[in-house]
Amino acid sequence: MTPEEFYQALQKQNIELTSQQQEQFDTYFKLLVEWNQKINLTAITAEPEVYLKHFYDSLVPAFYLAQLKKGSLSLCDVGAGAGFPSLPLKILFPSLKVTIVDSLNKRIKFLAELVGELGLTDVTLTHARAEDFGAKKSPARESFDIVTARAVANLPVLSELCLPLTKVGGKFIALKAQKAQEELTQAQYAIQTLGGQLQEDIETTLPQTDEKRHIIVIDKKKATPKKYPRKAGTPAKLPLTK
């Protein structure tokens, strides 16, 4: 997907990029490739693949969830790595208030330079484990309208990392590729235990390919019990399953 094809694909979703936004995506691509030579951010570095599998892929939730386009919602991106999906969404919708949590300080340094180069405001970068960031005494706990995660962990684990950060009435959005249905089945106990309820599993495909994508939307219906999330590392070792 060339940049021009990227713009056209967004037009089909009734999203028209300004020249400034186009320049921001171009700067994002160039900085990603530059930093990737120093630290491992992504295996995908060819321009057409970055535009399709990182930029376009990150924006897919906005095609289905109208609330992303409205007002100054607070969005927390857990394990964002090189900034996906939150920073492409922030470029598209500048009024989003974005917080990124990542456990690797090298990635936070990249993101800090990126945010500065892109001229983005209302972006907070936090070097922390998600389990600590959402712990019972953390001010971030249950404070975000939307919590996102992409390519971080399987859904039972992700639910324990993300739902404690999601405010009651908010949404946890997991961007998944294959095996989403299998993960959803495994995650039912965790979702329910942590105060969530599945709203929908949106299945789609990336343009120019047959690659499947799932946007799993979980509503936060009630407060997460205070004992979750468990201490750092535990959710991955002992996922919440029956």
Residue ranges of the annotated binding site for S-adenosyl-L-methionine are: 79, 84, 130-131, 150
Q: Are 41 and 107 in contact (CB under 8 A)?
A: yes
Q: Are 43 and 82 in contact (CB under 8 A)?
A: no
> What is the length of the chain?
242
37: how many CB neighbours lie within 10 A of its CB? 9
Residue 205 CA to residue 213 CA, distance in Å, equals 6
Residue 225 CA to residue 242 CA, distance in Å, equals 17
Residue 215 CA to residue 61 CA, distance in Å, equals 6
Q: Which of 188, 196, 151, 147 is nearest to 57 (CA)?
A: 151
Residue 225 CA to residue 240 CA, distance in Å, equals 13
The single residue listed with the structure tokens 């037009």 is 11
